[in-house]
Structure 1
């Protein structure tokens, strides 16, 4: 992602005005944790995986991983939305 021209333009545009602002939804440290979780949990379709004694889908696993790395929570829906926003940058490259 970081080598993708479209993604880097997106991040620059997103943070131009509010870098470090408390309103920023995906600051750099959360984005880093998000990418680590994407690598750890590749797409798995509709399958679920046991984690913390509960069946969880990929987005829940990613949200849990972000929580473990940063102590900041993100919901599975926030993760899903973020993936949808970033997907066009990957598909174009």
Structure 2
């Protein structure tokens, strides 16, 4: 039987902000535990979509106590992002 994921630990893991390329945004906070927790979970995981707008998802991502926040590209590069940074993950720009 598979063990359900736990919750991400404050100060750990990465929040990934993503888009479908058509204006719908969501975020995922993923945290790989160094060893399974007391329930046997090997990682923590939370998904957030809110109303699907960038502003709401960005605000949620910034409010999480993750170690790092990244925006996934090339789905929807933010204005001013140089093309060489489009593939992969880049840090969430300053507010």
Query: TM-score per shorter chain, which class?
Result: under 0.3
Question: Could you state the TM-score of these two structures normalised by the residue count of structure 2?
Answer: 0.26
Structure having the larger proportion of residues in helix = 1
Question: Could you state the TM-score of these two structures normalised by the residue count of structure 1?
Answer: 0.26
